[in-house]
């Protein structure tokens, strides 16, 4: 046991003061016809939870994630598997996400790295069978190694491009072996630092080609779900090509990848792009492209990806509002989040997941209440009522011509002002539903 002092985390309700209990996440509670557990397929991010130990630009690790072993060894990699499964089991988290190099230390020779991946995935598979926990998605880390300084699919070096392809191929194999339904591309360094040295069109064509090859191979190997792009506007590069949901959707359509790909929307990436989290969820959902979510939050005062555990219940509420309206996710809610550096103990890791799972449970409860209340839906319905009949209906049906609309306008004199947006009223409805 790696967390001997931590019990299985149970639901104790909102009055409980036990820090090691859920206050809102009650897995079997039914909301709008499904249990909370079904609505909220939570996933653990291997990299933050089992690897990252607090190192930042200004200081070294604060947390001990050695799990009693020397880091960088296969012994350590195996210990992480056991610790990770114990962690997920104690919290009732049923899924995990991984990069290839999160689960094994990378060797100089890719053949040796692949051998290590075979060894570790045997162990993970065994734990999956024992616990029922599964892989949500896998991915290859195509940004950490210096060879990827200019990107992977977007690299100026064809040899580096091939190396990326080799990593993607193996990461797909491991994902399929672990029962993962989905495969993810986060464009780690797929972007540029300056246009003075960059052929954007050339690079984007190459990225699309790599993705097309991955789909072609992945479908043959057994990726049954979706391929994902995870948009992010900047960091590590000054400009990332998968800037936001709208940009990623345009890219996927341009290169004919939109049937196989959906989006994995990360809250902190959406806010870095200057959007709300809800905005990128809405854009994905309305295009039928919402696949999965990296459930974290950023800090509006900081201009980088702080990857905090979700705490802001307004944000989780609006997220779950979009998800419920969409009919749920075929992916999951991956906590791509890390403890703040001074919260360095194993208990802090559990507190973080309890916070996050409770924040999403609250979001779900609130979003269902907003939908059941119906005032927001009714308001929106009425707001566009002028398109239901007459000239409005004609516009919607696509039968109107510009001349006809101009004639119509000419007879109107000045149109009446459109109905009030009633923003403050609607915000007060939200607060009443949440706190009333």
Q: Hey, which residues are catalytic here? A: 99, 102
DSSP track, 75-118 = HHHHHHHHHHHHHHHHHT--EEEEEHHHHSPPPSSHHHHHHHHH
Q: Which does 305 bind (CB under 5 to 8 A by kind): Co ion, ligand XUL, none?
A: ligand XUL
- Of 226, 242, 294, 315, the one binding ligand XUL (CB under 6 A) is 294
User: Binding string, 94-123, against ligand XUL, x = CB under 6 A?
Assistant: -----x------------------------
Encode 130-183 in three state secondary structure.
HHCCEEEEEECCCCCCHHHCCCCCCCCCHHHHHHHHHHHHHHHHHHHHCCCCEE
Who's near 343: CB < 8 A, 6+ residues apart? 351, 352
Nearer to Co ion, 103 or 368 (CB): 103
- Of 242, 305, 322, 336, the one binding Co ion (CB under 5 A) is 336
Interface positions, 327-346, toward ligand XUL (CB under 6 A): 336
Query: Least distance in Å: CB of 99 to ligand XUL?
Result: 6
Residue 228's SS3 state is strand
Query: Least distance in Å: CB of 264 to Co ion?
Result: 7
Interface positions, 136-155, toward ligand XUL (CB under 6 A): 139
- Token code pair at residue 285: 């959902």
* Residues 31 and 364: beta-carbon distance below 8 Å: yes
Name which of 319, 321, 328 is nearest 277 in CA terms: 319
| Candidate segments 140-148, 328-336, 351-359, 388-396, binder of Co ion by CB under 5 A | 328-336
Nearer to ligand XUL, 186 or 360 (CB): 186
226 interacts with ligand XUL by CB under 6 A: no
* Residues 326 and 33: beta-carbon distance below 8 Å: no
Name which of 226, 307, 293, 233 is nearest 264 in CA terms: 293
358 interacts with ligand XUL by CB under 6 A: no
* Residues 95 and 135: beta-carbon distance below 8 Å: yes
Nearer to ligand XUL, 116 or 232 (CB): 232
Q: How many angstroms separate the CA atoms of 323 and 223, rounded?
A: 23
Classify each residue of 352-389 as buried b or exposed e, where b means 16 or more C-beta atoms within 10 Å of its C-beta.
bbbbbbbbbbbbbbbbbbbbeeeeeeeeeeeeeebeee
User: Binding string, 185-224, against Co ion, x = CB under 5 A?
Assistant: ----------------------------------------
User: Binding string, 80-119, against Co ion, x = CB under 5 A?
Assistant: ----------------------------------------
Backbone angles phi, psi at 30, to 5 degrees: -95, 130
305 interacts with ligand XUL by CB under 6 A: yes
Query: Least distance in Å: CB of 62 to Co ion?
Result: 22
260 interacts with ligand XUL by CB under 6 A: no
Q: How many residues are there in the chain?
A: 436
Site size toward ligand XUL (CB under 6 A) is: 9
Site size toward Co ion (CB under 5 A) is: 3
Residue 415's SS3 state is coil
- Of 186, 241, 243, 353, the one binding ligand XUL (CB under 6 A) is 186
Nearer to Co ion, 11 or 185 (CB): 185
- Of 116, 232, 275, 338, the one binding ligand XUL (CB under 6 A) is 232
| Candidate segments 101-109, 126-134, 170-178, 329-337, binder of Co ion by CB under 5 A | 329-337
Q: Which does 203 bind (CB under 5 to 8 A by kind): Co ion, ligand XUL, none?
A: none
User: Binding string, 251-270, against Co ion, x = CB under 5 A?
Assistant: ---------------x----
Who's near 311: CB < 8 A, 6+ residues apart? 297, 355, 356, 359
Strand partners, 294: 266, 334
266 interacts with ligand XUL by CB under 6 A: yes
CA atoms within 13 A on the CB side of 153: 26
- Of 100, 244, 294, 315, the one binding Co ion (CB under 5 A) is 294
| Candidate segments 75-83, 191-199, 275-283, 289-297, binder of Co ion by CB under 5 A | 289-297
Q: How many angstroms separate the CA atoms of 28 and 36, rounded?
A: 6
Interface residue list for ligand XUL (CB under 6 A): 99, 139, 186, 230, 232, 266, 294, 305, 336
Interface residue list for Co ion (CB under 5 A): 266, 294, 336
């Amino acid at each position: 046991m790696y967390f001997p002092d931590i019990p299985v985390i149970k639901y104790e309700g909102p009055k409980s003061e036990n820090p090691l209990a859920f206050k809102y996440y009650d897995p079997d509670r039914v909301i709008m016809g499904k249990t909370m557990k079904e609505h909220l397929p939570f996933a653990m991010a291997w990299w933050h939870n089992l690897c990252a130990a607090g190192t930042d630009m200004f200081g070294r690790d604060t947390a001990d994630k050695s799990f009693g072993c020397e880091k960088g060894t296969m012994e350590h990699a195996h210990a992480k598997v056991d610790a990770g499964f114990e962690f997920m089991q104690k919290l009732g988290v049923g899924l995990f996400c991984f990069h290839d190099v999160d689960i094994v230390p990378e060797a100089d020779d890719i053949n040796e790295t692949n051998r290590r991946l075979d060894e570790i995935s045997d162990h993970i598979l065994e734990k999956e069978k024992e616990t029922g926990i599964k892989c949500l998605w896998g991915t290859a880390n195509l940004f950490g190694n210096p060879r990827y300084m200019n990107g992977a699919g977007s690299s100026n070096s064809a040899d580096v491009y091939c190396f990326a392809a080799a990593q993607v191929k193996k990461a797909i194999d491991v994902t399929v072996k672990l029962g993962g339904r989905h495969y993810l591309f986060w464009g780690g360094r797929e972007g540029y630092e300056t246009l003075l040295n960059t052929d954007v069109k050339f690079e984007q064509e190459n990225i699309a080609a790599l993705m097309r090859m991955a789909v072609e191979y992945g479908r043959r190997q057994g990726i049954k779900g979706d391929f994902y792009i995870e948009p992010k506007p900047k960091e590590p590069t000054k400009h990332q090509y998968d800037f936001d949901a709208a940009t990623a959707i345009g890219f996927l359509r341009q290169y004919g990848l939109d049937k196989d790909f959906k989006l994995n929307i990360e809250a902190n990436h959406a806010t870095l792009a200057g959007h709300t989290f809800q905005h990128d969820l809405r854009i994905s959902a309305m295009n039928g492209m919402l696949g999965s979510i990296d459930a974290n939050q950023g800090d509006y005062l900081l201009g980088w990806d702080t990857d905090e555990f979700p705490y802001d219940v307004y944000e989780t509420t609006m997220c779950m509002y979009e998800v419920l309206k969409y009919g749920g996710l075929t992916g999951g809610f991956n906590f791509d989040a890390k403890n703040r550096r001074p919260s360095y103990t194993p208990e802090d890791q559990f507190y973080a997941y309890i916070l996050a799972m409770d924040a999403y449970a609250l979001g779900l409860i609130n979003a269902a209440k907003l939908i059941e209340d119906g005032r927001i839906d009714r308001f929106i319905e009425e707001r566009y009522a002028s398109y239901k009949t007459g000239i409005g209906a004609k516009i919607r049906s696509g039968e109107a011509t510009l001349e006809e609309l101009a004639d119509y306008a000419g007879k109107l004199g000045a149109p009446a002002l459109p109905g009030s947006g009633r923003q403050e009223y609607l915000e007060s409805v939200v607060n009443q539903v949440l706190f009333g």
